[in-house]
Amino acid sequence: MATWKRFEEIDAWKKARELNKCVYRITREGQLAKDFGLCNQIRRSSVSVMSNIAEGFERGSRKEFIQFLSYAKGSAGEVRAQLVAALDAACIDQTTFDEMTALAVQVGQLLAGLIRYLQNCEIAGPRHLTADD
């Protein structure tokens, strides 16, 4: 068992960071870079996933952590919706859409698992969390 001392150690945050990097990569080039509204919105949503995990962790209470993980999960869903909009507007191709959507779904699944874990454990706050390696 490992103890999370920092939010950067949480697998869901690491995967959200990967998603964010990919979002920034695809929004720097091509048609998506030219659609300032959609580009800005998908960037903000992907940053929101990471930020909400971090903010919830730093709040120090299990209840608030769960709440912010839920916000992060919602933002991951928002990224998926914006990817659909980008595909429909021919700003990204099907391959990019499929890869990015799979990554966003994976982030959502990790968050859902972490939320379930936190709801079923008896810890006081996130710094006391343990996870299997």
Name which of 26, 73, 55, 31 is nearest 126 in CA terms. Answer: 55
User: Can you give the pTM of this predicted structure?
Assistant: 0.88
Helix/strand/coil (H, E, C) string of 90-115?
Answer: CCCCHHHHHHHHHHHHHHHHHHHHHH
Sign of CA dihedral 22, 39, 8, 57: negative
Condensed to tens digits (0 to 9), the pLDDT of residues 62-79 reads 899 999 999 999 999 999
CATH number attached to the domain at 13-121: 1.20.1440.60
pLDDT at 132: 40
Q: Where in the chain are the domains?
A: 13-121
